[in-house]
Structure 1
Amino acid sequence: MKCTHCGSPNLEQGFIEDSGEHSQGYGRWIPGPLERGVFGGARRLGKPRWIIDAYRCVRCSHLELFARPKD
């Protein structure tokens, strides 16, 4: 893998933290446009959730994000 911004091959693995109420400690990606429920929260019922893997370029600090199916 290389940074799509500067081309450096030096990417440092990390993750996007989700520290909201009832979170599992990491961010998730859900397909489709954001739809709001009755109380204003995102409607997620029945949609797959993908884990976000994040890599930071050591040279320019650009973030590359990749989604993978939940383990």
Structure 2
Amino acid sequence: MNDYTCTHCGTVGLAEGFIEDAGEHSKGYARWIEGAMERGMFGGAKRIGRTRRQIVAYRCPKCGHLELFVDDEG
């Protein structure tokens, strides 16, 4: 455990995890992409040239609330 505090109920010690992306051509985990979403010619999100960061999720063992953070090191 860690000393992260749940912003919903105040419980200390959140369980680390990640948000899975099981979509077509996915790498298996979700990422945060900087800037407002813009759609390309075929309807998908434009991603080329944008900063991408992996999302780290922490779950409160008491209330189940998720806290999401960007992993700046990954």
Indicate the structure whose relative CO is greater, using CA pairs within 8 Å and at least 6 residues apart.
Answer: 1
Q: CA deviation at 1:69?
A: 3.1
Unaligned runs of 5+ in 1: none
Per the alignment, residue 29 of structure 2 pairs with: 26
The gaps in structure 2 that reach 5 residues or longer are: none
Q: For the Cα contact (< 8 Å) 1:50–1:68, is it kept in 2?
A: yes
1:20–1:70 CA distance, 2 compared to 1 (3 A)? farther
How many percent identity over aligned positions? Answer: 59
Q: What number of residue pairs does the alignment pair up?
A: 71
TM normalised by structure 2 equals 0.89
RMSD between aligned alpha carbons? 1.1
Amino acid paired to 1:27: A
Return closer, same or farther for 1:70/1:41 CA change in 2, 3 Å cut-off.
farther
Structure 2 distance, partners of 1:69, 1:23, is 20
